[in-house]
Every structure is written in structure tokens, then in C-alpha cells.
A and B are shown apart, each in its own frame.
Chain A
């Protein structure tokens, strides 16, 4: 089996700060995703990538950038953290599109 590792697990930032979240997968999956999880709102897609150096915007891409420089890694940047923002960012990967595997998440708090 494989694993998706997200770093850091907890991230505290200041308003206006640029923050980067990292994700590594050893499944050798082609497609990777970043989802945002808010309490009571389900998971919403921010960015996804179907192969190395590919980037596709999801429904929630405004305020974020992403980078897929290697097949195994996918990073997400919050371009300007919003005060009092609290959310969990979940990285995921998929080999075929019919099963998606998730990491445990990075919990972001902006003070």
C-alpha cells in the first residue's frame, strides 16, 4: 500500500501572509488534488493535476496557487491568508478516477 503525507500538520499564519502546504504520495498515482474542508460545508476542490506540470482549477481556486513539479508531489500556496480563517486542507491522489485516496490534512489557522 501507499501513503499520502501532508506537511505541516498544523499551520498558523498571520493575515496577509503567503503560506505553502506540501503533499507527497508514494502510490505512483497520476492525478492529485487539493480539497478544502470547512465544518458543515463538505469538501471543495481547489486545484487538481492530472500529470506532472499540469494544473487545473477547481471551484475554489481564487486566492490559491498550486505547483506539481514531480509526479509524487503537489504543493498548495495560500497567496494571502485571511484573518480568522480556519480550515483543513486535504491532499488526495487517484490512479483511475474511480477511487480517490486522501491524506490526513493540514489544519490552517490564521490569526
Chain B
């Protein structure tokens, strides 16, 4: 079945440093990859999505490129801000297009001054 792996459970950075959160996946089908962000006591919100191989997707200063050859969709930002502190989920949609998502375990990003 489908699976998503986020290798870092917790990432702590100093403000201004670059961010990279890892995401790899396994699926037998071509589908969408997503990054969701959840701030404390808030709903998870869509940050990025992509289904196109080797195309960079950007939103709110974050970017990710889907690489089907390596089954990866890493999230990056050039300079972390205090407000980026949140829980980040990588997710994969299933082939039926019903919106069923398989999530990774999540990465808690903490940005310190």
C-alpha cells in the first residue's frame, strides 16, 4: 500500500537559517503530493501540492519539487522565521481521487530567535 516517510520528528532552527524537511513516499500510482502545516491549536492547512515531476512549486516562501525518480518531495525555505514554527505533514493522495490522504508522521519545526 501507499506510505509516506518523514525522517525528522523534530527540527529546531535559528531564525534566518534555511529549512529543509524531508519527505519520501511509496506508491504504485501517479498521484498528488502535499505539504500541510498545522500551527498550535489550529486546523491543518494546505501549504503546497504537486503532481508534476521535476517542477518546483512555491507558496508563502516555501518550495518543494516532486522528484518521481527518487520518490521525494522535500520542503524547503531559504530563511526560517519565528512564525514558521508549526507541525508539518507530508501527504499522498490515493489514485481514486476521493481526497483520501496517506500522511507521514509529521515534523515539528521550532524556530528560535
Residues of A within 8 A of B (CB): 4, 31, 33, 40-45, 48, 50, 56, 58, 90, 92, 94, 96-105
Contact = CB atoms under 8 A, between A and B. Distances in A.
Interface stretch (B11-19, B37-45, B63-71, B75-83): B37-45
Contacts of A4: 43
Contact of B99 (A43, A90, A97): A97
B103 A90 contact: no
A92 B101 CA distance: 11
Number of chain B interface residues as a range = 20 to 34
Contact of B100 (A41, A42, A48, A99): A48
Interface of B: 4, 9, 32, 36, 41-46, 49, 89, 91, 93, 96-101, 103-106
In the complex, the 4 A-B pairs of residues with the closest C-beta atoms, listed nearest first: A94-B99, A42-B103, A97-B99, A97-B97
Given A4-B43, A90-B44, A104-B43, A96 B105 contact: no
Contacts of B36: 102
Contact of A45 (B32, B46, B101): B101
B43 A43 contact: no
